[in-house]
């Protein structure tokens, strides 16, 4: 691999590569992100098929579906910091290898317990891999080309939510070689092998690591315990009817997060780079991510529940129905990345969230007006507008959060971004999913329609509240060295 660095020099904080090599690095990171993001949603659609094949109770099936999200969220922030110590290239390749082997294990799982363990390992390996990828992209591109490199991050965050169910529905429909649900995991194996081999050739040996960094084990322990105490009740609370222990665990999580904050202030080697929290765009940006992804995750969940459980549509039909949302997202992301994010800055977020609110209200009206007679074409305009509004948010939001992060900060920052996204999605699904099931009652068509209307209205209100936070951002994202 060719770099500009001489052997006798200390590793620089940036490691700009020739343009062709830098774009190959981005391709490797893109493949890793795509595998991870699709796997976070792909198993939900295959749940009934997995249950029919392997058996197990409802709680077992819930953990088959949720083990990945829980493990991924637990490891993200710590893994970002580990990149400073052990090397981002090394951890990325280690995570990619583990993710590929875990995917193979999922596809060959003989029992529900084996599958839960394999999904947990998949999530942990994903949490090791993802923060390193963002950091490597940051250091191999010169500042003037970084925006182009970050453009794919927006489509990944938005489109993977749709791509997962569509891909799962398609693979389940094809039933390749009689593999049934197993193909949704086995398909990762060839992509993982290709990405791993290419990564060994093109990833830079140095990615802005800090040789003086140390891992604060106390901070890691507190953060991991707090994350576990939060994510477990969020995953199982709705399924079990929110027993008292779920609230006790979440209260304990808040207490441990407070202890973690105290520990971080006293630590000489904090888990989360302290300078990130002195950046207004980073802190406010994460708050916006929280509100936005809570609304987004609940919206996707309830659309799936309404169409499949309420109206009896097939998984493939449901996935294809969301294509207008995916199309609107893709078009808006391209516009935001090429023109709007840089020219409009904060105003691009105002515009995107406002359009998303209009789309959600249009979706609410469509469901209320057409009821059980609703069709793909009657849903398409509202889904298209909602997707377009969401797509305008992704690029500038990432730009505000990570645009001015230094090479030393970007690994932890990327981990925080992904962690907040995961937790916000889990909270949105838990809270608004509970609203849906409570309102739906006996799951008749009229009650499901009424429940969906209520959730779409709440999601629109949540986006309006998020819109107010945008005013706390600076007018334009600032970039280090740019």
Nearest-5° angle of CA 101, CA 27, CA 153? 100
Round to whole Å and give the CA distance between 442 and 438: 9
Q: From CA 264, how far away is CA 272, in angstroms rounded?
A: 8
Residue 10 DSSP SS3? coil
Task: Quote the CA–CA distance of 479 and 482 in Å, as a whole number.
Answer: 5
Rg from Cα positions in the chain: 22
Answer whether 22's CB lies under 8 Å from 1's CB: no
Residue closest to 315 by CA, chosen among 24, 47, 66, 112: 47
Q: How far apart are CA 361 and CA 352, in angstroms?
A: 14
Neighbours of 346 (CB within 10 A): 18
12-205 folds as Growth Hormone; Chain: A; (1.20.1250)
Token pair 């929280």 is found at 290
Q: What is the pLDDT of residue 3?
A: 39
Nearest to 285 by CA among 153, 471, 29: 471
d(CA 389, CA 396): 12
Entry pTM: 0.77
CATH code of the region 273-482: 1.20.1250.20
Give the Å distances, CA to CA, from 366 to 100, 133, 355, 363. 42, 41, 16, 5
- Encoded tokens for 452: 């969906």
Q: Supply 29's token pair.
A: 């990171």
pLDDT at 16: 56
Q: How far apart are CA 285 and CA 291, in angstroms?
A: 10
User: CA 425, CA 458: separation in Å to the nearest integer?
Assistant: 15
Under-50 pLDDT residues of the chain = 1-14, 479-482
pLDDT of residue 93: 92
Q: How confident is the model at residue 208, as a pLDDT? A: 56
**DSSP character at residue 371:** G
Contact residues for 48 (Cβ-Cβ < 8 A; gap 6+): none
| CA–CA gap between residue 324 and residue 378 (Å, rounded) | 11
Give the model confidence (pLDDT) of 175-230 as tens digits.
666 667 888 888 889 989 999 999 888 888 765 555 666 677 888 888 888 888 88
Choose among 177, 145, 167, 193: nearest CA to 37. Answer: 167
Place of tokens 């630590």: 267
Give CA angle at 269 (266, 270), nearest 5°: 65
- Ramachandran class of 219: left when φ > 0, alpha when ψ lies in -120 to 50, beta otherwise: alpha
Tokens of 414: 């990327």
CB 80 within 8 A of CB 159: no
List the chain domain ranges.
12-205, 217-270, 273-482
172 neighbors 43 (Cβ within 8 angstroms):
no
What span, in angstroms and rounded, lies between the C-alpha atoms of 72 and 87?
20
């Amino acid at each position: 691999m060719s770099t500009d660095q001489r052997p006798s020099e200390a590793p620089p904080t940036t490691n700009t590569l020739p343009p062709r090599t830098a774009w190959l690095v981005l391709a490797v990171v893109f493949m890793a992100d795509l595998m991870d993001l699709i796997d976070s949603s792909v198993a939900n659609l295959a749940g009934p098929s997995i249950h029919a094949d392997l058996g197990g109770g409802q709680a077992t099936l819930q953990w088959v579906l949720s083990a990945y999200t829980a493990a991924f969220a637990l490891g993200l922030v710590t893994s970002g910091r580990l990149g400073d110590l052990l090397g981002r290239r090394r951890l990325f390749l280690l995570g990619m290898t583990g993710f590929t082997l875990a995917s193979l294990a999922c596809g060959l799982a003989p029992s529900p317990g084996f599958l839960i363990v394999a999904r947990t390992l998949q999530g942990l390996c994903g949490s090791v891999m993802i923060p390193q990828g963002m950091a490597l992209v940051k250091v191999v591109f010169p500042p003037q080309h970084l925006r182009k490199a970050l453009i794919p991050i927006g489509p990944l965050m938005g489109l993977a939510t749709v791509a997962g169910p569509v891909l799962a529905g398609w693979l389940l429909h094809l039933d390749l070689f009689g593999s049934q649900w197993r193909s949704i995991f086995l398909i990762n194996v060839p992509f993982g092998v290709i990405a791993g081999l290419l990564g060994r050739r093109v990833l830079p040996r140095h990615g802005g690591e800090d040789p003086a960094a140390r891992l604060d084990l106390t901070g890691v322990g507190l953060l991991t315990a707090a994350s576990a105490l939060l994510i477990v009740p969020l995953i199982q609370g709705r399924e079990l009817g929110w027993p008292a222990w779920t609230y006790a665990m979440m209260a304990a999580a808040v207490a441990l997060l407070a202890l973690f904050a105290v520990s971080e202030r006293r630590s000489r080697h904090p888990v989360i780079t302290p300078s990130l929290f002195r950046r207004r765009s980073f802190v406010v940006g994460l708050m916006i991510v929280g509100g936005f992804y809570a609304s987004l995750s609940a919206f996707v969940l309830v659309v799936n529940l309404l169409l499949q459980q309420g109206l009896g549509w097939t998984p493939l039909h449901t996935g294809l129905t969301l294509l207008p949302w995916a199309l609107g997202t893709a078009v808006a992301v391209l516009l935001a990345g090429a023109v709007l994010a840089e020219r409009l800055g904060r105003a691009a977020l105002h515009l995107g969230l406002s359009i998303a609110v209009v789309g959600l209200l249009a979706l609410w009206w469509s469901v209320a007006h057409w009821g059980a007679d609703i069709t793909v074409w009657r849903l398409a305009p509202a889904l298209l507008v909602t997707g377009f509004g969401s797509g305008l948010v992704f690029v500038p939001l990432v730009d505000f959060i990570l645009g001015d992060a230094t090479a030393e900060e970007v690994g932890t920052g990327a981990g925080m971004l992904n962690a907040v996204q995961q937790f916000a999605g889990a909270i949105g699904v838990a809270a608004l999913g509970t609203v849906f099931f409570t309102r739906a009652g006996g799951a008749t068509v009229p009650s499901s329609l009424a429940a969906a209307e209520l959730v779409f209205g709440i999601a629109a209100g949540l986006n309006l509240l998020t819109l107010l936070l945008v005013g706390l951002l600076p007018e334009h994202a600032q970039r280090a060295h740019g």
